Amino acid sequence: MTLPPHLGIRESHLTIGGIECSSLADRFGTPLYVTDQDRIIAKYRDYHTALGSLYPKVQVLYAAKANGNLAIIKALAREGAGADVFSSGELQLALAAGIPCEKLLFNGSSKSQRDLRLAVEHDIAVSVDSLDELFQLEQVAGSMGRTARIAFRVNPALDVPTHPKIATGLATSKFGIAHNLIPSAYREALGCTHIRPAGIHCHIGSQILDLEPFRKAADVMMRIVADLAGMGIELDFIDLGGGLGIPYRHGTETAPGPAEYAAAVAPIIKKGTESLGIDPELWVEPGRSLVADSTVLLCRVNSVKKAHKNFVNVDAGFNLLVRPVMYNSYHEIVLAHGVNHIPEETYTITGPICETGDILASDRHLPRIKAGDLVAILDTGAYGFSMSSQYNSRPRCAEVLIHDGTPALMRRAETVDDLTATMRTPPWLS
């Protein structure tokens, strides 16, 4: 198994950011998400440098849904990152983290009036997903005496090689406006009094390991941008979305990095904009490829059971990591204090949730495991904690951030009091 540079092995013990996972588990308790901040920042810089070397004006917007911890958004904000926000909550977190409004894009296919008002109030560009939303935004902005900056979300009708639940630019998917209808949508926008077309946006899906769909999407976007230029619309930004995948299967899977991604898309945008004599900013919205491999989820083994299979029952399940259950996704699992030990058994790692499907990993060849051992689930920084739940009334676990060899809590563990804090007793039960 190959490990990324922030993970290491010291006398068979897994380390993250130079610290032994077992000492982090002893100090902070389990289950525990542990994230290496410096890894995220290195990835952000890779993106910015790679795109910036091929295109003059670049903005990397972190897709805050991947991991919404304020500390992570703050660390990225300090580097100059913007953010793709998909809800009023993410928008408020991005502002709280110090990201300037002009570096935000408010995405989403189902925004409420309250969402639209919040965007207009802060002059945040809105990715508009339908004509219905456009006309609602026109009304909202008008009622506030403001102008809303918009980008239409293009549906490029592209089949992408990824899990069907996370392909977002298919002709059949719920997102965006069909690419052939986009020029007429901008024409509608020009007819509005309180709307200013500022950009154009697409996002074709997630965990994409092939660069070809990104090239195709960039081509579609440039064709539309040319049409818009012909209509006299000059855009401030072209946003290609996120979607670059990571190699979850260490040693056997490979993935293009930010440099290869930049080399695939930036020249298409550069050539197209130069030939049109325009100079919009190039925006991208990576989530997973910035944060996924920065994080391990540490779980304690509660018990081991030989039955139909060898079950290893750990203290985290799909309440804390839903990806394996939801997308059948693969995450490497290691015995944190015996990474180099010889695999002797085939284990299925199961969580504590009251569902047969609560399986984090099936049939993994691992060193012998016993109750009390610590296992680490790798590459859990994206869509891990951010998709967690309190199912089975399990308080969510803590998150630790490491920077420069120093670990600190970035989220305390919830308690049962946190679960009941929002509950109310109806009068007839008190």
Q: Does residue 394 interact with ligand LLP by CB under 6 A?
A: no
The single residue among 48, 111, 300, 323 that binds ligand LLP, judged by CB under 6 A, is 323
Q: In 231-312, where does DSSP find H-type helix?
A: 258-276, 288-291
Q: How far apart, in whole angstroms, are the C-alpha atoms of residue 83 and residue 241?
A: 11
Q: In this structure, are residues 258 and 289 in contact, taking their beta carbons and an 8 Å threshold?
A: yes
Q: Does residue 285 interact with ligand LLP by CB under 6 A?
A: yes
The whole-angstrom distance between residue 259's C-alpha and the CA centroid of its chain comes to 19
The single residue among 4, 82, 199, 242 that binds ligand LLP, judged by CB under 6 A, is 242
Closer residue to ligand LLP, CB minimum distance, 107 or 313:
107
Q: Which stretch binds ligand LLP (CB under 6 A): 31-39, 238-246, 267-275, 305-313?
A: 238-246
Closer residue to ligand LLP, CB minimum distance, 163 or 368:
163
Q: Does residue 364 interact with ligand LLP by CB under 6 A?
A: no
Angle between helices 182-190 and 212-230 (to 10 degrees): 40
Rounded to 5 degrees, φ, ψ at 230 are -65, -25
* Catalytic residue list: 354
- What's the closest the beta carbon of residue 309 comes to ligand LLP, in angstroms? 25
- What's the closest the beta carbon of residue 223 comes to ligand LLP, in angstroms? 20
Residue 183 DSSP symbol: H
Among 268, 270, 247, 269, smallest CA distance to 257 is for 247
What separation in angstroms does the CA of 52 have from each of 262, 282, 328?
9, 9, 36
Q: Does residue 203 interact with ligand LLP by CB under 6 A?
A: yes
Segment 51-90, which members bind ligand LLP (CB under 6 A)?
A: 63, 65-66, 84
- What's the closest the beta carbon of residue 201 comes to ligand LLP, in angstroms? 8
Q: Does residue 104 interact with ligand LLP by CB under 6 A?
A: no
Residue 208 DSSP symbol: B
Written as six digits, the tokens of 322 are: 């839903």
Q: How far apart, in whole angstroms, are the C-alpha atoms of residue 240 and residue 271?
A: 15
The single residue among 4, 82, 197, 286 that binds ligand LLP, judged by CB under 6 A, is 286
Written as six digits, the tokens of 20 are: 């032994």
Q: Does residue 288 interact with ligand LLP by CB under 6 A?
A: yes
Q: In this structure, are residues 205 and 166 in contact, taking their beta carbons and an 8 Å threshold?
A: yes
Q: How many CB atoms lie within 10 A of CB 139?
A: 14
Q: In this structure, are residues 220 and 226 in contact, taking their beta carbons and an 8 Å threshold?
A: no
Q: Does residue 247 interact with ligand LLP by CB under 6 A?
A: no
Q: Which stretch binds ligand LLP (CB under 6 A): 21-29, 203-211, 312-320, 408-416?
A: 203-211
Q: How far apart, in whole angstroms, are the C-alpha atoms of residue 407 and residue 17?
A: 9
Q: Which stretch binds ligand LLP (CB under 6 A): 192-200, 223-231, 282-290, 408-416?
A: 282-290
Q: Does residue 115 interact with ligand LLP by CB under 6 A?
A: no
Q: Does residue 206 interact with ligand LLP by CB under 6 A?
A: yes
Q: Does residue 243 interact with ligand LLP by CB under 6 A?
A: yes
Number of residues that bind ligand LLP (CB under 6 A): 24
Residue 392 DSSP symbol: G
- What's the closest the beta carbon of residue 153 comes to ligand LLP, in angstroms? 8
- What's the closest the beta carbon of residue 79 comes to ligand LLP, in angstroms? 17
Q: Does residue 324 interact with ligand LLP by CB under 6 A?
A: no
Segment 2-61, which members bind ligand LLP (CB under 6 A)?
A: none
Q: Does residue 204 interact with ligand LLP by CB under 6 A?
A: no
Q: Does residue 169 interact with ligand LLP by CB under 6 A?
A: no
| Binding pattern for the stretch 131-160 against ligand LLP, x by CB under 6 A and - elsewhere | ------------------------------
Among 116, 140, 117, smallest CA distance to 127 is for 116
Written as six digits, the tokens of 268 are: 């298409």
- What's the closest the beta carbon of residue 265 comes to ligand LLP, in angstroms? 13
List all residues 6 or more positions away from 232 whose beta carbon is below 8 Å from its beta carbon: none
Q: How far apart, in whole angstroms, are the C-alpha atoms of residue 386 and residue 389?
A: 9
Rounded to 5 degrees, φ, ψ at 72 are -70, -45
E-state strands within 64-205? 82-85, 104-106, 125-128, 148-155, 177-178, 195-201
- What's the closest the beta carbon of residue 40 comes to ligand LLP, in angstroms? 13
Residue 173 DSSP symbol: S
Closer residue to ligand LLP, CB minimum distance, 206 or 388:
206
Angle between helices 113-121 and 88-96 (to 10 degrees): 30
The single residue among 37, 87, 155, 207 that binds ligand LLP, judged by CB under 6 A, is 207
Q: Does residue 268 interact with ligand LLP by CB under 6 A?
A: no
Q: Does residue 111 interact with ligand LLP by CB under 6 A?
A: no
Binding site for ligand LLP (CB under 6 A): 63, 65-66, 84, 107, 166, 168, 203, 206-207, 241-244, 285-289, 323, 327, 382-383, 387
